[in-house]
Amino acid sequence: MIQLSDGITSLMLHDDLLWVDEHNWHPVEQSINRTITGSLIVSTAQRIAGRPITLQSIDDSNAWHTLAQVNQLRNWAAVAGLALTLTLRATVRRVLFAHHEGAAIEATPVVHYSDVSNADFYRITLRLIEM
**What pLDDT, in 10s, does the model give residues 61-115?**
889 999 999 999 999 999 999 999 999 999 999 999 999 988 999 999 999 888 8
CA–CA gap between residue 35 and residue 43 (Å, rounded): 13
What confidence tens digit (pLDDT) does each residue in 23-75 have? 999 999 999 999 999 999 999 999 999 999 999 998 888 899 999 999 999 99
Q: What pLDDT does residue 101 have? A: 80
Mean of pLDDT over the chain: 95
Q: What is the DSSP letter of 76?
A: H
Residues 72-84: b if buried by 16+ CB within 10 A, e if exposed: bbeebbeeeeeeb
CA–CA gap between residue 86 and residue 89 (Å, rounded): 10
Compute CA 12 distance to the chain's CA centroid, rounded to the nearest angstrom. Answer: 14
Global confidence as pTM: 0.87
Q: What pLDDT does residue 103 have? A: 94
How far apart are the two ends of the chain, measured CA to CA in Å? 21
Q: What pLDDT does residue 62 have? A: 87
Q: What pLDDT does residue 61 have? A: 85
Residues 98 and 129 sit within 8 Å (Cβ to Cβ): yes
Q: What pLDDT does residue 72 have? A: 98
